[in-house]
Structures are given as structure tokens and as C-alpha cells.
Amino acid sequence: MRTVNVTAAIIERGREILISQRLKGSHMGLKWEFPGGKIEPGESPEECLRREIKEELDLDIRVGDRLMIVEHQYEELKVILYCYRCSYLGGETKAKDCHDFRWVVIGDLKSFDFAEADLPVVRYLTAQAGSDAGSD
Ligand SMILES: Nc1nc2c([nH]c(=O)n2[C@H]2C[C@H](O)[C@@H](COP(=O)(O)OP(=O)(O)OP(=O)(O)O)O2)c(=O)[nH]1
Ligand SMILES: [Mg+2]
């Protein structure tokens, strides 16, 4: 069974987070995800994220703290997803190497059809946003 180490960026811009839709015909095609990709040999997760986000969406980001690591077994592949909080630095968002993208508020994440490995991340962010609102 193949295992891949993959980064995923939770990019915040104000109250919104960037999500992207995977290319048709790719693994998990047309599912929504947190953009990123496979870590290349010799690359740190932070370098990988900066490279992938530029390639896929033409954006510059600052990579912050790691949010969580999710291990998910798909039928044909095991994915270890390294999720980092990131902030938007600049650039106009473009779907360069993804089908589509959206900037969404956290409360709307649940209405997108995410890749299965992302569901713990979506649940965590949603719960956290709920408790933040409650503590005001
Ligand atoms: N980047 C990313 N990949 C995810 C997420 N959720 C999830 O299951 N994956 C899976 C799909 C793929 O099987 C695997 C690697 O992602 P990828 O296809 O983005 O890798 P990549 O950008 O390096 O693309 P490629 O050059 O290999 O075509 O991780 C996610 O939130 N973000
Ligand atoms: Mg990718």
C-alpha cells in the first residue's frame, strides 16, 4: 500500500478561508480540499506549501503553526496530511492547477463535498469557530 506525505494550507484572509476543488480526473477529482500537495524529497512542509500554493493558486502565503496531522486510509492509498495555518500575503487568486476555488467563512465549510481525509479538519475548524463566537 502506497503512503504519501501531503501538506494542506488553511489560508486565512480576514474571516475567510481558501478552499480549492481538485482537478477532474485526479485522485478524489472534483472533491474540495485545503490546497497543497505531496512533499518532495529534501523539502520542508513549509517550503512545500509555499511552492504548491503558488503553483495551484498563484498566491503568496506565510506558513504559520501546524494545526493537525490526519492519517487517512483510502482504498488505494494512505494519505498523511500535514495541515498548517497560513496567512494570505498577496496575489490575485487564480485556479491555475485546480478546478475551482472559493474564499468561504468557516460556517460554510460544511456545505462543500470535501475529500474524506479533510473531514476532521472541517469539524475542528467548525467547532472552534462555534466556541469563539460563544466566548464573545
Ligand atoms: N493537497 C491536499 N491533498 C489532499 C487533501 N485531502 C486529501 O485527501 N488529499 C489527497 C489527495 C491526493 O491523493 C493526495 C496528494 O495531493 P495532490 O494531488 O494535491 O498532490 P500534488 O499537488 O503534489 O499533485 P501532483 O503533482 O502529484 O499531481 O492527498 C487536502 O486537503 N489537500
Ligand atoms: Mg495539490
Is 41 marked as a binding-site residue? Answer: no
Does 16 map to a domain? yes
Per-residue pLDDT of the chain (136 residues; tens, 9 = 90+): 899 999 999 999 999 999 999 999 999 999 999 999 999 999 999 999 999 999 999 999 999 999 999 999 999 999 999 999 999 999 999 999 999 999 999 999 999 999 999 999 999 999 998 888 765 5
Distance 126 CA to ligand 2 centre (A): 23
Does 35 map to a domain? yes
CA atoms 84, 49, 45, 115: torsion sign = positive
Does 136 map to a domain? no
Give the residue carrying C-alpha cell 476532521: 120
3-state DSSP assignment of residue 47: helix
Distance 74 CA to ligand 1 centre (A): 12
- Quickly count: other Cβ atoms within 10 Å of residue 52's Cβ: 22
ipTM score: 0.96
User: How many domains are there within the chain?
Assistant: 1
Distance between CA atoms of residues 34 and 133, nearest Å: 23
Question: 106: domain range?
Answer: 2-131
Give the CATH number, domain containing residue 124.
3.90.79.10
Does 115 map to a domain? yes
Does 45 map to a domain? yes
Global pTM reads 0.95
